[in-house]
Amino acid sequence: MHLTVKQQVKHLSKEDYKTIKELCHIAKNLANEAIYNVRQYYFSEGEFLKYEIG
């Protein structure tokens, strides 16, 4: 039987939990920045930002 994610997090050390929390925070910030850049490009150029440019 597999443990749920919440149960798996309970068994982590404080250091591991802190590392995962920091990585999640960084990932969230990167996603928000990408969305912001696409939106700003759309407002200035009137077209969507291509993946290769971003």
The better pLDDT of the pair 1, 33 is held by 33
Retrieve residue 5's tokens: 């994610």
Residue-wise pLDDT tens digits, 10-54: 778 889 888 988 999 999 999 999 889 888 888 888 887 776 665
For 1-54, where are the alpha helices, taking DSSP H only?
Answer: 5-10, 14-45
Task: Find out whether 41 and 49 touch, Cβ atoms under 8 Å.
Answer: yes
Residue 27: per-residue pLDDT = 94
pLDDT value at 8 more than 90 = no
Phi, psi of 51 (to 5 degrees): -60, -40
Q: Specify the pTM.
A: 0.63
Which residues does 42 contact at the CB level (< 8 Å), separation at least 6?
Answer: 48, 49
pLDDT confidence bin for 1, thresholds 50/70/90: very low
pLDDT higher than 60, residue 2: no
